[in-house]
Amino acid sequence: MPLKERILLVEDEKNISHFITTVLTSNGYDVIVACTGTEAGGMITSQCPDLILLDLGLPDMDGLSIIKTVREWSQLPIVILSARMHERDKVTALDMGADDYITKPFGPSELLARIRAAIRRTKLSGTRPDVAQTGKYQVADLVIDYDKHQVFIAGANAHLTHNEYKIIALLGRYAGKVITYDYLLKEIWGPGSKGGNQILRVNMANIRRKIEKNPAEPEYIFTEAGVGYRLREEP
C-alpha cells in the first residue's frame, strides 16, 4: 500500500479536531494532533508531517509564531484554519509564509481540495523537470513514485518507512548533486534535531539494505565522505 501523507492538525477545540480527524483519516491521510503551539513545535520535528493544518487561536500562543518558526528552516506546506475573517489577518498569515487560509466554518470537500493543492504545489517545488513532468524519478531499476509515496526496485515495493521515503525523495529531486548531511537533517527533522548525523546514518543504512543488491557497494546512493549523499543520475 502507498505510504499515507501525514498531516499535523494543530487545533485546541476538541469537536473541530475530532471532525477534521475523521474527515482526513477516512480519505487516506495519517493524522497527528496537537492542542497547543508548544506541543505542535515538538511534533513538527519528531513526526515529520507532510502538511500542517494550523488554527491561529491557540491557548498558549498565536499560530502566526508557528508559521514564522517553520519558515526559518522549511517550506513545509501550512494551511490556516481560522475563525478570523478580517482581510488583514489573511494577508498577514499569507505574507508570513502560509500556503492557504480557510475560514471557519468550512466543508469537507473544500478542506480536502485545499490540502491536495498545497501538497501538490510544494511536493516537487524546485525539482528536476523530468520529475515534475512525470511525478517519478527513475534510474536503472530504481523508481521513486512521488504521487504514490513509494519506491520500487526492479518492480517490487521497497517498503520504506515514512522518513526513509522522505530522504530518498529529497535525494531524487536533486539526483546527481551532493546533498549535505546538514541540509537533509534540517529538511526532514528540523533544526537542532536530536541524534545529529547518527539518525541519518541509521536511516540510510536501512534504505540501502532495502534497495541495494550489496549495501557495502551501493549502486544508487553514494556517500561523499564528510559531506553528504548523492543519488545516482543516468548519464
The predicted-structure confidence for 189-213, as pLDDT tens digits, reads as follows 887 666 678 889 999 999 999 999 9
- pLDDT for res 75: 82
Question: What is the edge-to-edge ordering of all strands in the sheet holding 221-224?
Answer: 178-180, 228-231, 221-224
When mean pLDDT is compared across 82-86, 92-96, 100-104, the lowest value belongs to 82-86
Looking at the structure, tell me whether residues 213 and 107 fall in a common domain. no
Specify the pLDDT at position 16.
92
Number of domain units in the chain? 2
Full residue range of the structural domain in which residue 156 is found: 129-231
Mean pLDDT of 139-166: 93
- φ, ψ for residue 155, nearest 5 deg: 85, -10
Same domain, 13 and 92: yes
> Would you say residue 80 lies in a domain?
yes
Identify the residue whose cell numbers are 537533509: 184
Are residues 156 and 52 part of one domain? no
Q: Tell me the average pLDDT across 51-63.
A: 93
Check the CA dihedral 145-179-99-166 and report its sign.
Answer: positive
Answer whether residue 199 is part of any domain: yes
Residue 126 region, left (φ>0) first, then alpha (ψ -120 to 50), else beta? left
Bigger pLDDT: 124 or 155?
155
β-strands 6-10, 30-34: how paired?
parallel
The CATH number of the domain holding residue 108 is 3.40.50.2300
**C-alpha separations of 171 from 12, 26, 179, 222 in Å:** 36, 31, 7, 11
Q: Residue 1 falls within a domain, yes or no?
A: no
The verdict on residue 181 lying in a domain is yes
Task: Please determine, for residue 126, whether its predicted confidence score (pLDDT) is greater than 60.
Answer: no
Residue 184, classified by CB atoms within 10 Å of its CB into exposed (0-12), middle (13-18) or buried (19+), is: buried
Question: Residue 225's pLDDT is what?
Answer: 83
CA distance 59 to 91: 22
Model confidence at 78, in pLDDT bands (50, 70, 90)? very high
Over residues 219-228, the pLDDT tens digits come to 999 998 888 9
What is d(CA 99, CA 80) in angstroms, rounded to the nearest whole number? Answer: 8
The pLDDT confidence band at residue 1, using thresholds 50, 70 and 90, is low
Give the pLDDT confidence score for residue 128 in this predicted structure. Answer: 65
